[in-house]
Amino acid sequence: MAASPQFDLIVFGATSFVGQILTRHLFDRHGTDEGLRWALAGRSEPKLAQLRATLGAGAEALQLLVADARNPEAMHDLCGQTRVVVSTVGPYALYGSELVAACAATGTDYCDLTGEVQWIHRMIAQHEATAKASGARIVHCCGFDSIPSDLGVHHLQSASRERFGAPAERVKLRINALRGGASGGTVASLMNVMKEVAADPDLRDVLGDPYALAAAEGVARPARQPSVQLGEFDAEIKAWLAPFVMAAINTRIVHRSNLLSGFAYGQGFVYDEAMTTGPGLKGQFKANAVALALGGFVGLSALRPSRALLERFVVPKPGEGPSPEAQQKGYFDFRFYGRTAGGDTVVTKVTGDRDPGYGSTGKMLGEAAVCLAHDVDSSKLGGGFWTPATALGDALIERLVAHAGLTFEVL
């Protein structure tokens, strides 16, 4: 990376569905002269110019950079112009690898909103040594997956240490309420995972391993991890549970945070996520219905003929997603239940004020990128593949509460 790059931040993939939300958030927050030197990048200059024209007065000062995600030389040139790249170019397994490689090689910091476990696993294996040597801080999963989960556990652990002098070695995330829609980009990422598994069945082991992103040489896997796959009853909160689709990535990130923090959550840390569906027969019926629907969708997505039909007739196409009105009406409410080894308990809450995967994710990703550019001291955090909690932690929580509509509370 150049000694004094031209930009603090480049938004790569600015014209994608989430990229547009992210760009508007950054412009509303910083304009072009509020201490953040930033630019828009993508493969189509006309589309970039069209997006810039929608932002409002003063946006013409934003520079537009044209670069192809699959061109290694273009990715290196992009990195040479900035301190941080934030990428919304997915599916990342198809379009994100050259940029991560370039960031790792040039010492450029990077964040994204991927939820693709198999791709993150691959990027760590291929580039972590290079990133550590160059000083590049790579931070995946800076959207709905997995900031509320990862920072929610981080926040709960801080409360547990403050109250009891010890971490909570058992933490449960229960989705109390959630309203939001899906975009074509998210669906495309899921479908690509299914295609990769069909081509390489060994990936099932990676995807099914709760420690897939938390492996360390010479470190034993500390505990068997629960996973809600069917409707089941949680006696502690007196409610039925259904599987939560994002648990497959969130739990892996939380366990990586525990590893990177030197097992600050405990050597025997146990964590799981599930949706609450209420008490009684109604709650049981809803839990089983959600489990059946999710299992059916995954099963159909795993088979080529039915996957093709889903892509053609059912799921949203890339570039499609919730309307601005739907994003405004969306929200999420997460509850975290923690228990220390000594039996003390703490309950916390994380909420968001927009559609979780898009309206809220755009704001979370924007604040994470600026936090990485402005708040993370390179003398205190070296290069490598970090998580939101271990790279950004309390500084990001402050930004999210102040500027992104999230709350973090101890109940």
| High-pLDDT (> 90) share of the chain, % | 80
In order along its 411 residues, the chain shows pLDDT tens digits of 446 899 999 999 999 999 999 999 999 999 998 799 999 999 999 999 999 999 999 999 999 999 999 999 999 999 999 999 999 998 999 999 999 999 999 999 999 999 999 999 999 999 999 999 999 999 999 999 999 999 999 999 999 999 999 999 999 999 999 998 766 667 778 888 889 988 999 999 999 999 999 987 667 677 789 999 999 999 999 999 999 999 999 999 999 999 999 999 999 999 999 999 999 999 999 999 999 999 998 888 888 898 888 888 887 776 677 788 888 899 999 999 999 999 999 999 999 999 998 899 999 999 999 999 999 998 899 999 999 999 999 999 999 999 999 999 999
Query: Pairing relation of β-strands 168-179 and 331-340?
Result: antiparallel
Q: What is the pLDDT of residue 47?
A: 97
Q: What is the pLDDT of residue 2?
A: 47
Q: Is 406 helix (H, G, I), strand (E, B) or coil?
A: coil
d(CA 366, CA 36): 12
Rounded to whole angstroms, what are the CA distances from 87 to 242, 317, 368?
32, 20, 12
Sorted by where each starts, the structural domains of the chain and their CATH numbers stand as 7-144+359-404 (3.40.50.720), 147-356 (no CATH)
Q: What is the pLDDT of residue 238?
A: 97
Question: How much is the pTM?
Answer: 0.96
* Number of Cβ within a 10 Å radius of residue 164: 17
Q: What is the pLDDT of residue 379?
A: 87
DSSP codes, 336-402: EEEEETTS-EEEEEEEESS-IIIIIHHHHHHHHHHHHHHT--TTTS-SEEE-HHHHTHHHHHHHHHH
d(CA 108, CA 93): 20
Residue with tokens 């689709």: 245
Cβ distance 185 to 18 under 8 Å? yes
Cα torsion through 402, 405, 409, 411, rounded to 10: 150
Provide the β-strand partners of residue 336: 173, 348
Q: What is the pLDDT of residue 183?
A: 64
Q: What is the pLDDT of residue 218?
A: 64
Q: What is the pLDDT of residue 282?
A: 97
* Number of Cβ within a 10 Å radius of residue 233: 14
**φ, ψ for residue 43, nearest 5 deg:** -95, -10
Q: Is 278 helix (H, G, I), strand (E, B) or coil?
A: strand
Q: What is the pLDDT of residue 217?
A: 65
